[in-house]
Amino acid sequence: MRGFATGLLVLMFVVYVVARWAEVRYPPLSYLRAFAEAGMVGAVADWFAVTALFRHPFGLPIPHTAIVPRNKARIGTSLGGFIANNFLVGEAVIQKLRSVDIARHAADWLADPVNGRLVADRLGAGVPRILAALEEAHVREFLRDAAVRGLKAIDPSPVAGRVVAVLVANRHHQVLFDHALEAAGRFLLANEDVIRQKVAEHTAWWVPKWLDEQLFRRIMAGVDSTLHELRDPAHPWRDEFNATVDAIVESLKTSPDYRQKGEAIRDELLSNPRVIQYLDDVWGEVRGRLEADLALSDGVTRRAVAQAIVAVGRHLQADREMQAIVNRWIERWVIEHVVPRRDAIGRFIAGVVDRWDAKTMVAKLELQVGKDLQYIRINGTLVGGMVGLVIHAVSQAVF
């Protein structure tokens, strides 16, 4: 468009010269000459105005030219302030977020298997780079030290107490008790010969073997009967077991001795080189298998991630209440973290604009509005010509 606008100016000049030369012989051409003359004036004036926005016309330091480069800092500050004060206002942000319904759009996008696969592929491409970065000696040592410090900050005894308390609340300890009874029964059956021999060894030499056998059978029957009785949930020994477990839970939570022992065990494990080496070996094994699987375009990990993403999207699609909750989370986060920092965002925008060099800024602006500016030059040429034509016609009619 710049070439077209410049070509139009040249055309006006050529038309003016030809009309000026020929109007002596053909007086009506004075109207064409007036149009071309005024068109040249309009074209040059608008070229000057457009050029003066970005640079000095003809390279001359004419006052009030090169407006954009000279006012770069002020433009950046004004732009940052405009965005901060008009777009990052709490009410405007909330209204826009609610009109967008981010959760619903996210659910629709995630529920598409193509998008689920896309996310899985992106993660599959990014995870190996993260794993490779973690393998750097300094990074690995830093993460190991951070993990050890984090584990040392944990008080193991109360944590163990809370874990056991959860198991007790769900009666998992009674299930464990039942498994122990079954294991004891199987152990007795599998070791009858050993028990029979032990009974024989602990009776006098003169006791007949048939009596040893009777004693053995009575012992086995008594133990088996006791194990069978203990399967009854109302058995008194189960109540005693409950009381013992409750006491252990309370001791784990409050006992200084248990706390001291837990800390000692924790510190001993974390300071043991074999434990650290074992954890490193486990991590190396996991990392190797994960990298090998991620290298496959149809690996288990990628498929699982893609399926999980699609499942999350479909569940979110079907749950309008959850969508409302997610939208409220987003609104709250934006209001709490983005809106209060709008001044900082405005300053950031101003700083970015200010750091642009003048040529970069002019190039960016001309890229966005350059076509419209050339239309201003074209319109200036045509409008100027029309005004010149009208003035000439009025002059001819009046004078």
pLDDT of residue 212: 65
Asked whether the CA dihedral 45, 48, 52, 53 is positive or negative, the reply is positive
Top-confidence range, 43-52, 104-113, 163-172, 343-352: 104-113
Looking at mean pLDDT, say which of 134-143, 187-196, 326-335, 376-385 comes out highest: 326-335
pLDDT score of 104:
92
Question: Once rounded to an integer, what is the mean pLDDT over residues 150-179?
Answer: 79
Name the least confident of 63-72, 241-250, 272-281: 63-72
pLDDT of residue 205 exceeding 70, the answer is no
367 or 4: which leads in pLDDT: 4
Of residues 326 and 53, which shows the higher confidence score? 326
pLDDT reported for residue 207:
59
In single-letter form, the type of residue at position 293 comes to: D
Average pLDDT over residues 367-392: 80
- Tell me the C-alpha distance between 94 and 96, whole Å: 5
Q: Band of the pLDDT at 204, cuts 50, 70, 90?
A: low
Over the stretch 17-47, which tens digit does the pLDDT of each residue have? Answer: 888 888 878 888 888 888 888 888 888 888 8
Percent of the chain with pLDDT over 70: 96
| pLDDT at residue 312, rounded to an integer | 92
Residues 208-225, mean pLDDT to the nearest whole number: 76
Q: Is the pLDDT of residue 281 over 70?
A: yes
- Dihedral (Cα; 281, 284, 286, 289), 10-degree rounding: -130
- Taking only the tens place, the pLDDT of each residue in 91-150 is 778 888 888 889 999 999 999 999 999 998 888 888 888 877 777 777 777 877 787 788
What's the confidence (pLDDT) of residue 168?
Answer: 74
Phi, psi of 255 (to 5 degrees): -75, 125
Which is more confident, 361 or 333?
333
* 341: pLDDT strictly greater than 90: no
How high does pLDDT run on average in the chain?
81
Going by C-beta distance under 8 Å and a sequence separation of 6 or more, which residues neighbour residue 154? 266
Rounded to 10 deg, the angle between the 192-201 and 209-230 helix axes is 130
Token pair, residue 109, equals 């996008």
What is the pLDDT at residue 9? 80
Tell me the pTM. 0.53
